[in-house]
Amino acid sequence: MPAERDVRLRMYEQMVTSRYFEEAIKLAYLEGKQPLFNMAKGPIPGEMHLSSGQEPCAVGVCAHLRHDDSVTATHRAHHIAIAKGVALNAMTAEIFGKRDGLSGGRGGHMHLFDSAVNFCCSGIVAQGMGPAVGAALAAKLAGSDAVAVSFIGEGAANQGAFHESLNLAAVWKAPVIFVIEDNAWGISVAKRTSTAIARNSDRAAAYGMPGRFVPDNDIDAIYDAAGDAVHRARAGGGPTLIEIETWRLEGHFMGDAEGYRPGGEVADLQARDPLIVYRRRLADAGISVVEFESIERRAGRAVADALEFARKSDYPAVESAFETVFS
Amino acid sequence: MPAERDVRLRMYEQMVTSRYFEEAIKLAYLEGKQPLFNMAKGPIPGEMHLSSGQEPCAVGVCAHLRHDDSVTATHRAHHIAIAKGVALNAMTAEIFGKRDGLSGGRGGHMHLFDSAVNFCCSGIVAQGMGPAVGAALAAKLAGSDAVAVSFIGEGAANQGAFHESLNLAAVWKAPVIFVIEDNAWGISVAKRTSTAIARNSDRAAAYGMPGRFVPDNDIDAIYDAAGDAVHRARAGGGPTLIEIETWRLEGHFMGDAEGYRPGGEVADLQARDPLIVYRRRLADAGISVVEFESIERRAGRAVADALEFARKSDYPAVESAFETVFS
Amino acid sequence: MTATATATATAAPTRRLTIAKAMSEAIGLSMDADPKVIVLGEDIGALGGVFGTTQGLLERFGAARVRDTPISETAFIGAAVGLAAAGMRPIVELMFVDFFGVCMDAIYNLAAKQSYFSGGHVCCPMVLMTSVGGGYGDAGQHSQCLYATFAHLPGLKVVMPSNAYDAKGLMLSAIADANPVVFMFHKALQGMGWLGTVPGSIVHVPSEMYTVPIGRAATVRPGRDITLVGLGLTVHLALQAATTLAAQGIEAEVIDLRSIAPLDREAIAASVAKTRRLIVVDDDYRSFGVSAEVIAGACEGDVDWLSAPARITHPDVPIPYSPALEHPLLPSAAKIVEASTRLCHDKVE
Amino acid sequence: MTATATATATAAPTRRLTIAKAMSEAIGLSMDADPKVIVLGEDIGALGGVFGTTQGLLERFGAARVRDTPISETAFIGAAVGLAAAGMRPIVELMFVDFFGVCMDAIYNLAAKQSYFSGGHVCCPMVLMTSVGGGYGDAGQHSQCLYATFAHLPGLKVVMPSNAYDAKGLMLSAIADANPVVFMFHKALQGMGWLGTVPGSIVHVPSEMYTVPIGRAATVRPGRDITLVGLGLTVHLALQAATTLAAQGIEAEVIDLRSIAPLDREAIAASVAKTRRLIVVDDDYRSFGVSAEVIAGACEGDVDWLSAPARITHPDVPIPYSPALEHPLLPSAAKIVEASTRLCHDKVE
Ligand SMILES: Cc1ncc(C[n+]2csc(CCOP(=O)(O)OP(=O)(O)O)c2C)c(N)n1
Ligand SMILES: Cc1ncc(C[n+]2csc(CCOP(=O)(O)OP(=O)(O)O)c2C)c(N)n1
Ligand SMILES: [Mg+2]
Ligand SMILES: [Mg+2]
């Protein structure tokens, strides 16, 4: 079933919010890193993985989720966090390493945890897959119809945890959806050189679960496929594997010169920027410029507020580094 | 193509040798462990995993192998070692923890290495799979047509290394054959409760490689399937996955009371003991009692010699424990 | 075992249990008390655990709460973290500690860091129980201890009982803990007939719930001349040595660490402040191990040593298979006596 | 760096290289000399290694010998062991040491034990190069050191250079070694522009082949009052501290371990025999780490300490992300000066 009008607008708003957020983070990240790029410097240190271009995957899937559904995400997680409803101010403050961050600056960009919406992410490829199966089993044991979604990149589909987690989910008939964001690259390694078959969704058969492939970064198709999978999981039908063709509009992390990327690839993808594509499609469906502008303004304000919140927040006291090692 | 007569007789001899060997090991293992079974006692300490019933897998596959082909095996490796041509005396001495053992008593039953025939085994489930891919790549890089075979149990097919190794082998088009001995059990856990699909050979599709299932522990069918796979690998066609239905006639290890095993299962399997089945089939094909007896005598002598060799060998000097940590 | 002694003194008749039974009993009591406690692992269902840690649990609590898993340690330990984050209290078994190499990420980078990365908002009340130790000819991939491997990494608590009383109490503490606890049990103490068992590990265990605190060592024998620090099996070796030493006029104080992380530094410091002599007995690999940490920790303090501290450990070689090689490499009471006598030479001369 | 100093003195003009370039150069020379040397890992092809360890190698040697792998560490490290057993000399990169958790079995249970389990008949000439260290805000899964985690396990050699000269020489030794060598390189010294680099790591590197022996520490600054033991980054911190201390009349001797396993116990013993004061500076987790081993090893000897040995380390908490938290937790020259002054209080009072 195609998404309702208000769902589509909410999805668009999340996509825009994510994109604006990353534009803002990008600028902030580069502060103190110019002219000499040094990851350690500026208000946001460390690696920075942007998700621009991949918003449809997050938004189209999370549109079906409730707060009590769990999501485990990857190192490239901003879009997913936003789509899952992670508190944007606290998330931003976390990325700035501030006291008001989700974990008081302990985790940072690759370790965003928001227990209010059951979201977490990780810096280890495929690490979230087992926990998603566990979250799903917990829901099942509790008699709830909550589900879990594990997002990974196509590169992660060659990690052992992928295999073990899909098999375990299938054996347990756990209500979990595995979503592969296939952006064709694992850092500099192309999917076609790292992966023995063209579509990871075909690997679902190895676990007796349905596999769906969604081409072309198409948010409506993603929404559809995810809807089926979430519905199936809530109804006790067990796990599903979905692979989505998406695109990485930026480098693997900021500072990546992308010398390995064929000339023109990024320009081609930018021309098909899913934000532009979706805006056009929504316009064709009758959304007015006024509505777009109001959505975009709201998104802009949310992001600006979040950045301001983060910047104004204090740095944590050193002693807090010794706290919460144990609960 | 069905095996030649002499190949079939050699396969039968290896099966018999393996069975006799394990009967002898079984007796020796129980020395000092009665009336109270204590793994630490007697001439052979530690865990003891017997392969009786699984001989066809080893013998049918290894019939196609040369000394320069590599085999990596598991904790349950006697039959494979014998089929690959591992020196029986040194192997037996190793199991007795003696100086003349393959590694001077350092490795033991789960760590049999014979570099003369490129055989090794391991106590970690699925550990040998990556090394087999590496051995295969080494052959390919050297321009040789040697192949590698990795034997695992069906339980190991749920370990992450399985997935990673099959994908890597396929990506590298490495001349490697993955052989799953499906004896239906991983210790006390039945395949049907641990594995999401009925046949692991169907998992080959996840790596774009051929998958073959061989039912009924049938040595001639195994010989056939393995022949195709080895031929394909030598010709540059890349990896193959084979799953063989086989049976575990003993406990997981000696001392296993097997309370988890459905009543009658072992008796049923014993009635279909592949040794008896194959002997009958060969008899039907015209092998005479005299020939059988000569083979069986030879096997019996080889085993008796090996046991005697092992028993007569000295224990290693303590200082040798400090040697060969590094080469 | 001071605690044990007390318990033994007051309770009659005694219930002498093996560590395996004590662990199973602790888990069963917890499962009775709290439906959120579940058990996952290989062969923990019908088999009751290869080392008897889950005996009778499948029958009592059913397959939904006592779940045999595929041989997929990364997935099921990861799943346990997900279960714990969702409010469950999973107990997972890693059959042999030697297998940590296939799943350490889920343990040290995931479970151990949930609390920190979430600023304490997500906790990980998970018990990872795992067997350690050799001495029975199971060779280099089934006989390791790896105490320091786990204890080095923040976010994990690591415990190991030397007897059934502590086993039950530590297990109940571990299950109640909001954090991941690695519960090591030594095969030589486990009480599985087929492995042989040091008799001292089989002691009186009260049938009710009680806890042994994590992070607290026990002084299992007081003495003034030398401190012998052990853990698990080596506690028994140290006690045996202490008896021999007493006959020679050397009074050894024996400390059972019980917790490896956090280490009870105060207990060690208090003892060496008195004895001014220290031997650590540890069946793990020698270098970069528990013995080094105990000695370094003690030496950082201002002890006026009567002789330099020493350690008795497995050497830095893989654990060999042959009994002719393995046995002489492991710590023994005789080695402890020898080293103690050497350190106390001024006393015996 | 005594070696470096010598080299620098005699060779003109100097070739100042980063560690990244020195590593790439060593690998390239070896690949030129021996067709059996190949490189495997993630992003080591077109990208030249995330940390620049394989720069230019794909172009020079082609995709058959410089092989980008899937994100399958268990499989490709396992494959490297198979390659090594077959006579090849694989160099594999584990991008961050933090990822050891997904593949440690292939390292410690497989590669490390090939020789022993085969009684020396099968060897494992493999180099595992891996980045360590933090300080640049990459948080708790990308900033760890884990020196002791590897050094504790027999069958592995573990090295880490503090400068480009040693990097090349140690890499050439590692490649020539018949055994698995874990070659750690510290991100703060690597010479990747985007990471910032301690200038002292960029030194003259002769263009020809030479080796720096595994298992031998370097005394990079002689001194009589206190021994400062460091490795990788902390060597530079210790040197910086030593300069400050010299101005206060304290002559610190600085030892660069270079090899973590085997540890050069003689070098440490010789130094502390002279100085009778010891501080170990180590950016790994505090407990059960390199610092404990160095201190314990020294204390086992019969040193008549002037003050108790001390260690300066990262504390036993996961590495926090925020610079406000991470920086104060790491060792620093100031902390070394402070501790040294404390240990030498009799001298400065
Ligand atoms: C186990 C592990 N191996 C390697 C890495 C280093 N690494 C981080 S992201 C990445 C590429 C991941 O590719 P993919 O899964 O496609 O996700 P993408 O970056 O494209 O979103 C790699 C190799 C890691 N973090 N964890
Ligand atoms: C990584 C790992 N996990 C668990 C074990 C313990 N274990 C040894 S054999 C075995 C069962 C293996 O089953 P399968 O692969 O079917 O082989 P089989 O024993 O049936 O020959 C298990 C779980 C191990 N050795 N390694
Ligand atoms: Mg990708
Ligand atoms: Mg099996």
* Local mean pLDDT, 10-residue blocks, chain A (327 residues): 88 98 98 93 97 98 98 98 98 98 98 98 98 98 98 98 98 98 98 98 98 98 98 98 98 96 95 97 97 98 98 98 98
Report the pLDDT averaged over residues B202-222: 98
Query: How many Cβ pairs closer than 8 A exist between chain C and D?
Result: 157
> Which of the four pLDDT bands, split at 50, 70 and 90, describes residue D349?
low
Both tokens of residue D231?
């490795």
- Tokens representing D61? 């040697």
- Asked if the Cβ–Cβ distance from B206 to A203 is below 8 Å, we say yes
pLDDT at D161: 98
pLDDT band, residue D3 (cuts 50/70/90): very low
CB contact B206 to A (< 8 Å)? yes
Q: Which residues line ligand 1 (CB under 6 A)?
A: A 74-76, 123-125, 152-156, 183, 185-187, 252; D 42, 71, 95, 99, 102
> Residue A136 to residues C54, C80, C81: CA-CA distances in angstroms?
24, 11, 12
Angstrom distance (rounded) from CA C107 to CA C75: 11
pLDDT of residue D10 exceeding 80: no
Spatial neighbors of B59 by CB under 8 A, at least 6 apart, are B11, B14, B15, B18, B79, B83, B219
CA A224 – CA B250 distance, rounded (Å): 51
The kind and range of the H/E element at B212 are strand B211-214
Per the CB < 8 A criterion, the answer to whether C69 and B190 are in contact is no
Contact call for residues B260 and B188 (beta carbons, < 8 A): yes
Q: How far is C194 from chain B (nearest CA, A)?
A: 4
Residue-level pLDDT at A294: 98
Q: Contacts of residue A44 in chain D, CB cutoff 8 Å?
A: 137
Longest dimension (CA), chain C: 65
Q: Which residue has the tokens 């559904």?
A: A69
CB atoms within 10 A of CB D77: 32
Which residues does chain B have within 8 Å of residue D179's beta carbon, measured at their own beta carbons?
326-327
Structure tokens at D212: 């720096």
Cβ A167–B158 below 8 Å, yes or no? Answer: yes
Are the beta carbons of C136 and B40 separated by less than 8 Å? Answer: yes
Query: d(Cα D85, Cα C333) in Å, to the nearest integer?
Result: 40
Query: In Å, how far is D189's CA from the nearest CA of chain C?
Result: 24
Q: Cα angle vertex C335, ends C332, C341, to 5°? A: 140
User: Span D18-28, mean pLDDT?
Assistant: 98
**pLDDT averaged over chain C?**
95
* DSSP state string for C57-123: HHHHH-TTTEEE--S-HHHHHHHHHHHHHTT-EEEEEEEEGGGGGGTHIIIIIIGGGHHHHTTTSS-
A125 lies within 8 A of chain D by CB: yes
Cα C279 to the center of its chain, rounded Å: 18
**A49 contact D CB<8A:** no
To the nearest whole Å, the CA of B111 is away from the closest chain D CA by 6
**Cα torsion A306, A307, A311, A312: sign:** negative
Q: CB distance from D295 to chain C under 8 Å?
A: yes
Share of chain B above pLDDT 90, in %: 98
Contacts (Cβ under 8 Å, ≥6 apart) of C67: A172, C38, C39, C40, C41, C44, C45
Rounded Cα distance, B220 and B11, in Å? 10
B152-166, B288-302, C334-348: segment of lowest average pLDDT: C334-348
**Following DSSP, what letter does each residue of C183-200 receive, concatenated?**
EEEEGGGS--GGG---GG
Half-sphere exposure in the Cβ direction for A291 (13 Å, CA): 14
Q: What is the pLDDT of residue A254?
A: 96
Q: Which atom of ligand 2 is nearest to the CA of C50?
A: 6
Which among B22, B75, B129 is the best mutation to test ligand 2's pocket, defined by most ligand atoms within 8 Å of the CB? B75
> How far is the C-alpha of A30 from the C-alpha of A251, rounded, in Å?
14
B314: tokens are 């000295």
* Active-site residue flag, D253: no
**Atom 2 of ligand 2, nearest CA residue:** B125
From residue A218, how far is each of A274, A275, D270 by CA, in Å?
8, 10, 69
What is the predicted pLDDT for the residue at A163? 99
Rounded Cα gap, residues A243 and A214, in angstroms: 6
Q: Does residue A120 belong to the interface with chain C, where contact is any CB pair within 8 Å?
A: yes
Does residue C194 surpass a pLDDT of 90?
no
Could you tell me the sign of the dihedral formed by the alpha carbons of C51, C52, C57, C59, in that order? positive
Closest CB to D82: pick one of B130, B167, B326. B130
Q: Is A134 close to C78, i.e. CB distance below 8 A? A: yes
Does the distance separating the beta carbons of A106 and C116 come in below 8 Å?
A: yes
Residue type at position C309: P
Nearest CA to ligand 2 atom 17: B153
- CA Rg value for chain B: 19
At A1 the pLDDT is 60
The active-site residue, picked from D25, D42, D73, D253, is D73
Give the residue from C121, C124, C173, C259 with the most A CB atoms within 10 Å of its CB, the best one to mutate: C121
* Catalytic residue ranges of C: 73, 142
pLDDT value of position C5: 41
- C145 → chain D, closest CA residue: D153
- Distance set, CA B273 to CA B51, B217, B283, D263 (Å): 12, 9, 15, 55
Distances (CA, A) of A244 to A85, A89, B191: 21, 29, 32
Residue D302 has a CB neighbour count (10 Å cut-off) of: 10
Chain B residues with CB inside 8 Å of A238's CB?
A: none
Interface contact flag, A321 D69, Cβ < 8 Å: no
Using one digit for the tens of pLDDT, what is the confidence trace for D215-272? 999 999 999 999 999 999 999 999 999 999 999 999 999 999 999 999 999 999 999 9
Contact between chains at D316 and A325 (C-beta distance less than 8 A): yes
CB of A197 less than 8 A from some CB of D: no
- pLDDT level of residue D1 (50, 70, 90 thresholds): very low
Ligand 1 centroid to Cα of residue A267, in Å, is: 23
Instruction: List CB contacts (< 8 A) between B160 and chain A.
Output: 159-164
Cα of A175 to nearest chain B Cα, Å:
15
In this predicted model, what pLDDT tens digit does every residue of C195-251 receive, in sequence order? 889 999 999 999 999 999 999 999 999 999 999 999 999 999 999 999 999 999 999
- Residue type present at position D146: L
Predicted confidence (pLDDT) per residue in C298-346, tens digit: 999 989 999 999 999 999 999 999 999 999 999 999 999 999 999 998 8
The confidence band for D2, taking pLDDT boundaries of 50, 70 and 90, is: very low
What pLDDT was estimated at residue D177?
98
Pocket of ligand 2 (CB under 6 A): B 74-76, 123-125, 152-156, 183, 185-187, 252; C 42, 71, 95, 99, 102
B168 in D contact zone (CB under 8 Å) = yes
Do D117 and B111 lie within an 8 Å CB cutoff? yes
In this prediction the pTM is 0.97
Whether chain D has a CB inside 8 Å of the CB on B139: the answer is yes
A206 chain-B contacts, CB cut-off 8 A:
196-197, 202-203, 205-206
- State the pLDDT confidence band at D150, using cuts at 50, 70 and 90: very high
CA of B252 to the centre of ligand 4 (A): 9
Whole-number Å distance, alpha carbon A242 to ligand 3 midpoint, is 14
User: What's the A172 CA to ligand 1 centre distance in angstroms?
Assistant: 27
From the list D255, D349, D267, the residue with the least C-alpha distance to D307 is: D349
- Of the candidates B159, B170, B278, C308, the residue with the CA atom closest to the CA atom of residue D304: C308
The helix/strand/coil state of A76 is coil
Contact across the interface for D70 and B167, Cβ inside 8 Å: yes
From the CA atom positions of chain A, what is the Rg in Å? 19
Indicate the residue type of D285: Y
| Sheet arrangement for strand A211-214 | A113-114, A119-121, A70-73, A148-153, A176-182, A240-245, A211-214
C-alpha span between A219 and C52 (Å, rounded): 52
Nearest CA in chain D to B147: D86
Residue B191 CA, ligand 4 centroid: distance in Å: 8
- Joined tokens for residue C167: 């086993």
Q: Which residue has the tokens 């009870």?
A: C264
| Closest to C93 in 3D by CA, of C131, C56, C63 | C131
User: Looking at this predicted complex, what is its ipTM?
Assistant: 0.98
**Which ligand has its closest atom nearest to the C-alpha of A188?**
1
- Please tell me which residue in D25, D42, D93, D142 is annotated as part of the active site: D142
